[in-house]
Amino acid sequence: MSTCPASCTGTCPEIVPVTINQTVIDFGTEAEVADYSATGNGVQTVFDLGALAFEILLVAVGSADQIPTTAYTTADTKITFTSPPAAGESIHVKYLKEI
């Protein structure tokens, strides 16, 4: 533990330096966050987002976040799940699309 300033009462946590790495995605065009929602039927694995997805930000089936390349892949305007989402299960995708 580090030494607390005079204004602090009790034990102060140690100050640990952190490094922040930032990745900038340049599409060469303007993009916006878009939302896509659907409901699984237990059979369908391919869903059309309706727009070319430059970058997938979040995919959730039900309340579970999905892992890229393990749970789904994307190509053009479509997302393909490795297993069909269960009947009645909500599907939610946040992605960047060109505006």
With respect to residue 10, please indicate whether it lies within any of the assigned structural domains: no
With respect to residue 11, please indicate whether it lies within any of the assigned structural domains: no
pTM higher than 0.75 = no
Question: 59, 71 in Cβ contact below 8 A?
Answer: yes
- CA dist 99 → 1, 9, 15, 73 (Å): 50, 53, 43, 23
| Torsion from C-alpha of 70, 68, 43, 91, nearest 10 degrees | 140
For 45, the domain range is 31-98
The structural domain count of the chain equals 1
pLDDT values of the chain reduced to their tens digit, one per residue, 99 residues: 455 666 666 666 666 677 766 666 665 668 788 999 999 999 999 999 998 887 888 999 999 999 888 899 999 899 999 999 999 999 999 998 877
